[in-house]
């Protein structure tokens, strides 16, 4: 089962238990109210059972909502954090295009649909959109403020937006249903008006997901989620950026899906003479496991990178080997190391090969492979981030000067550090053309700037280079 869906089901299971307890307590209150109502009216008036049942439902709903947003975060008192950039979560989901990131958004919308649907049934006051939708906004705002001041979560304007959208969708859905039974002419216009929000939301989703699949290239996770405020920062260049745009190649490798990833895992195990009995599917990777000494293999879908830990690796002593000896040991894993790769052994005993944009036999090799070896000449651990691509086509990219303008405008990866520190000056030490894998398996060009701020802090900032 998807790890996030399993988490949601466990969350609902615990939250529903709380809701049932709350409803039972309130049910006794309703029964007591019924008895008192019957005695006072002497049975001459009907007890409002429908509203009472709706009241129990809304109480149960708020119990689940309270648990999901507040009570599941333990004791609280943690670091207070907030996101004031509207649509940051949507941009992050777009950049990564991971199922989990989109699901986070849709769950925040779905959580408030019941609120928008139940309120109009409870009271005529809530049959006006300008009452129900602001009410949903207020509930979400209160939750976010409690999360912030108690340290039980992040105060996020995106959550407020998606919760309010969920309230509006719930309101429109229930009003469409109730208006459909009305035979007056004006009800048709009302039904059309109520359909506008669900229709716009549906069209927007079709545009997002349809537009993504129609794009030639995928999305870069390194694309900034928001434009940072760089006002008042002094920029110092230690080089002269080039004003000329360039023609550079792009590369491609077909991303893994569950099926092709399974095929890779089976072949990997076959090469080692083992079997992976268990498979665990996640949003961006598959984990293959042999719990009886065969080890574990984590394979990432987008770029095909993986990590492998052999069975019994913890109890084995590490040993150092020469470049040729390690390459020979890696042959059993069907790993090819280009002759141009640099080799060294770090302080932790990792044998590391680094390759910087080597084009050989129609393929591009780029990245790093790290492994550990035991005294009996066995590879006990592999971190393979040595990516292999084939040339796709040549594209025109922006100049270094254009990239620098985007940098100064706050449009670069990792720009949130500008909000965490008081920065008056940033030194731009260097620029280099690099490549990064996107969500469709393409290797896209990006400009990477080396920045220094507050005298000792260094950071790399990436600006997409394709027009």
DSSP characters for 375-428?
A: TTS-EEEEEEEEEEEEEEEEEEE--HHHHHHHHHTT-STTTTHHHHS--SEEEE
**How does strand 342-345 pair with strand 351-360?**
antiparallel
Task: Give me the pLDDT at residue 15, please.
Answer: 58
Bridge-based pairing of strands 442-453 and 457-464 is antiparallel
Highest mean pLDDT (candidates 127-141, 142-156, 178-192, 293-307): 127-141
Cβ neighbours of residue 139 closer than 8 Å, sequence gap 6 or more:
112, 115, 163, 167
In the predicted model, is pLDDT for residue 398 greater than 50? yes
* Mean pLDDT of the 42-51 span: 76
Do β-strands 234-237 and 425-437 pair in parallel, antiparallel, or remain unpaired?
Answer: parallel
CA distance 411 to 446: 13
* Under 8 Å between Cβ of 371 and 425: no
| Arithmetic mean of pLDDT, 347-366 | 90
Segment 206-218 shows an average pLDDT of: 95
Q: Confirm whether pTM is higher than 0.85.
A: no
Tokens coding 126: 């809530």
Q: Which of helix, strand or coil describes residue 150? A: helix
Residue 111: Cβ within 10 Å count: 21
State the average pLDDT over residues 420-438.
92
C-beta separation of 406 from 223 below 8 A: no
In percent, the amount of the chain with pLDDT more than 70 equals 92
Write down the pLDDT at residue 11.
Answer: 55
Tokens of 212: 């993504």
The answer to whether 102 and 91 have CB atoms below 8 angstroms apart is no
Mean pLDDT of 1-24: 60
Backbone angles phi, psi at 171, to 5 degrees: -60, -50
**Phi, psi for 64 (deg, rounded to 5):** -65, -45
Question: Using CB atoms within 10 A of its CB, is residue 339 exposed (0-12), middle (13-18) or buried (19+)?
Answer: exposed
Q: What percent of the chain has pLDDT over 90?
A: 58
1 has a pLDDT exceeding 50: no
User: Residue 137's pLDDT is what?
Assistant: 97
- Residue pair 83/156 in contact by the 8 Å Cβ criterion: yes
**Rg (the chain; Cα; Å):** 29
CA distance 381 to 384: 10
Q: Range with the lowest mean pLDDT among 8-17, 104-113, 266-275, 428-437?
A: 8-17
Cα(207)–Cα(190) distance, integer angstroms: 26
CB 424 within 8 A of CB 273: no
Give pLDDT, residue 73: 59
Q: Which residue, 259, 212, 207, is CA-closest to 97?
A: 212
Name the phi and psi angles at 278, rounded to 5: -120, 145
Could you tell me which residues are beta bridge partners of residue 464? Answer: 446
Q: What is the pLDDT of residues 180-204, one digit of tens each?
A: 777 666 777 888 889 999 999 999 9
Q: Among 457, 460, 463, which residue's Cα sits nearest to residue 425?
A: 457
Instruction: Note whether 115 and 61 are within 8 A (CB).
Output: yes
SS3 of residue 30 by DSSP: helix
Q: What average pLDDT does this structure show over 438-464?
A: 93
The answer to whether 424 and 233 have CB atoms below 8 angstroms apart is yes
Dihedral angle computed from the Cα positions of residues 203, 207, 208 and 209, in that order, rounded to the nearest 10 degrees: 100
Average pLDDT taken over every residue of the chain: 88
Residues 6+ apart with CB under 8 A from 417: 453, 459
Residue 314's pLDDT is: 57
Q: Answer for the pair 421, 388: CB distance below 8 angstroms, yes or no.
A: no
Cα separation, 410 vs 225, whole angstroms: 11
The pLDDT of residue 38 is 73
> Per DSSP, what are the bridge partners of residue 237?
428
Return all residues near 261 (Cβ < 8 A) that are at least 6 apart: 286, 299, 301
Q: Is 320 in contact with 347 (CB distance < 8 Å)? A: no
d(CA 65, CA 14): 11
């Amino acid at each position: 089962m998807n790890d996030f869906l399993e988490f949601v089901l466990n969350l609902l299971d615990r939250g529903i238990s709380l809701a049932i307890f709350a409803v039972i307590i309130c049910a006794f209150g309703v029964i007591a109210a019924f008895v008192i109502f019957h005695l006072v009216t002497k049975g001459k008036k009907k007890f409002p059972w429908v509203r009472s049942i709706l009241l129990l439902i809304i109480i149960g709903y708020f119990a689940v909502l309270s648990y999901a947003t507040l009570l599941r975060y333990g004791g609280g008192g943690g670091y207070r954090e907030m996101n004031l950039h509207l649509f940051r979560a949507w941009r992050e989901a777009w950049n990564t295009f991971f199922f989990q990131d989109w699901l986070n958004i849709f769950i925040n919308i779905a959580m408030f649909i019941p609120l928008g649907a139940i309120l109009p049934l409870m009271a005529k006051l809530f049959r006006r959109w300008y009452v129900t939708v602001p009410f949903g906004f207020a509930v979400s705002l209160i939750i976010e403020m409690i999360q912030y001041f108690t340290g039980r979560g992040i105060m996020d304007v995106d959550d407020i937006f998606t919760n309010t959208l969920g309230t509006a969708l719930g309101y429109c859905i229930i009003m469409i249903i109730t208006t459909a039974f009305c035979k007056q002419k004006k009800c048709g216009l009302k039904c059309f008006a109520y359909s506008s929000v669900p229709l716009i939301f549906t069209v927007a989703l079709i545009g997002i997901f349809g537009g993504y699949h129609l794009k030639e290239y995928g999305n870069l996770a390194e694309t900034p989620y928001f434009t940072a405020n760089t006002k008042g920062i002094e920029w110092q260049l230690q080089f002269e950026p080039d004003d000329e745009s360039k023609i550079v190649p792009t590369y491609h490798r077909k991303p893994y899906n569950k099926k092709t990833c399974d095929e890779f895992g089976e072949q990997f195990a076959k090469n080692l003479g083992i079997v992976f009995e268990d498979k665990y599917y996640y949003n961006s990777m598959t984990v293959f496991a042999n719990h009886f000494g065969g080890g574990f293999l984590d394979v990432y879908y987008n770029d095909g990178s993986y990590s492998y830990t052999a069975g019994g690796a913890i109890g084995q002593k590490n040993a150092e080997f020469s470049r040729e000896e390690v390459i020979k040991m890696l042959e059993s894993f069907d790993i090819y190391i280009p002759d141009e790769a640099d080799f060294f052994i770090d302080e932790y005993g990792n044998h590391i090969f680094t390759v910087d944009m080597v084009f050989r036999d129609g393929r591009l090799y780029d990245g790093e492979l790290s492994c550990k070896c035991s005294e009996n000449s066995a590879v006990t651990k592999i971190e393979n981030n040595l990516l292999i691509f084939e040339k796709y086509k040549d594209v025109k990219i922006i100049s270094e000067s254009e990239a620098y303008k985007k940098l100064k405008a706050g449009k670069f990866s990792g720009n949130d550090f500008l909000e965490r520190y008081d920065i008056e000056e940033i030194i731009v030490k260097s620029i280099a053309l690099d490549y990064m894998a996107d969500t469709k398996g393409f290797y896209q060009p990006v400009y990477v700037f080396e920045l220094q701020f507050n005298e000792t802090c260094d950071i790399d900032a990436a600006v997409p280079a394709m027009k």
